[in-house]
Structure 1
């Protein structure tokens, strides 16, 4: 991987943001991330799933270049500890050993370099911690923070303030879309950047309102920056690239999956000064975003709907069970910006609203989609995050081995095998002579 990292340094150099430091300033220029740091973070972003807390802690302990060199080598965790006796690896040796099983199976220089070459062709910009344009709010995610951000469009908007996330149901009603349009329009008029996920329904309405009003909007993707998903919003997302910013922590070529949509929600929450849920079902992914926001100290506003509407059941749930703020228009939504830290949701019992307590396994727990649609987030009863990730990696037609499934899902092979056994017992998968399939 050494040669690949050398090549990566030259590729990322043209995608890095210019420093704001002026040559006219006296004294030395401020230190920023080195090319080696940026290239190493790009590699690590290929090896791990979003929000991998073990890798985040390892990078915090060793630095990105040393962490990448360690993973790409054949060194053991014990050798690292012996070489640096004073080193405190926050995840612990066992967690790092499990992480190596996940990350090393994805080590391949050619796909890594192809992802960088594709990003260069797209004109994507690369942001890493320490850059002038890096949104410091992401640091609130701790070890779950993105290692790198890929931006198509204006990278300055990613750190713009104030910003408010407007999120909600994909299967939105006319009532919900109208309120999303009015709320986003009013927030733009008040100088806010609108952050959302680019999905159908409420997300799309919020983005469109911002664009029509001539305001700033940021769409956070669940796949690579080359995957403008959903396809039905390719024109909308293309317009956001031209007039706003499309952001992803995943490399080019990475497909959107149910798991990655849920992990993406933490980025939407962290990039925003407040979150407004316009319309959401009882187990909607928008509730997952609201919980992430609350856990980060971001105020959460909720637009109420008709009490007979299932599309607003999740909104009413937040209002009834948590300390979310009822908002009915843009003026009340804007008031959230003065409530930082005051509107904290209590920890949830529902898995759809929780951050995974097993932070060393990497990622955010939550729900998979309805009818198998990657962008949907209704919770399948009884499934854990590891099982959701495996189903994301599986096919109903193409058998895949345990090793291939583990690599696709970003799991240790032993953990993937155990989860396959559970899914088999539940009747969700079947084993063939060639590998594993989703049971029809």
Structure 2
């Protein structure tokens, strides 16, 4: 059995290039033929001539040549691909099988079949067009209707036309009414939806306003309750403070409290020593400021003691522009120790004077006064020592002096001003 020899790959590629060039040349020739055919048809109409038949045969031969070239080209490429995919030392039977497959007639490829189908469809369309054109050319002209009786119409036809016109108008009116009704219903639905939305929004706003009002009322009630509570607490605190101040005033000045006299306007008077223990000598009665503490609004009314013939404090005057009863009580609680010794001595002298006035023997009265003075002095000694330590040493109230030698701010106050009140 003889073996089949295959062309080389380079030869196949050269042949492929030649086929491509041939196809390009045939495509150019085909385009030229198509252009000439169109020009001929434009100049001579659609009449079938011998030249047209010749051109059609040339086109058919050209297409068949293209198809044959493509078939040969595709078969050669398939053969070369099959041969190149096998090894050089492969079995000879496989090569013979490939050659045997290509020895049979080649089937048409897809492009040829599509070309043939397109040609058939084209011929069918052309035949249909030619038939319609022929029928149009050979058809008899339409018969002309005489216009003599055009104005004549049948009564039944007129009635039928009127009925049809009325029906058409009725249908049109019904459609219009239906459209208007549908539009009205849509508007009603839209209006109802808008009203419902507005109502819902209004309800929400009313609910929000009502909730805000309730919150404000609750807040106002809470604030009022808080204010009432604070007011009650403030009143209770003020009452407690007033009671405390009243208790302090009562503890300092007793139940009688401070005196207010018309002869001493704007002054509160607290009597330190009883007038029965004083001589009542006007020359030794005057008013002096508190030089020890220098407190503003405090002054003393001085007088002469009957027992020891020395000047002592009769009364303490508090200026109402500076002091009230509570401040005066606080001042007296802080400075009461300064007047304790004088009070005890004056009390003993007053007791002796009272005893003499009642007719008791003078010796018994003096002995009783001496005993009272001794016991009072012994009892007051620790307090006097503490007062001396607090004041930095004992400071005695200076004796009385003539008016010309009194320091600035001192005034003489008659005892009649105190006694008359």
TM range (shorter): under 0.3
Q: Which has the higher contact order (CA 8 A, sep 6+)?
A: 1
Higher helix share: 2
Higher strand share: 1
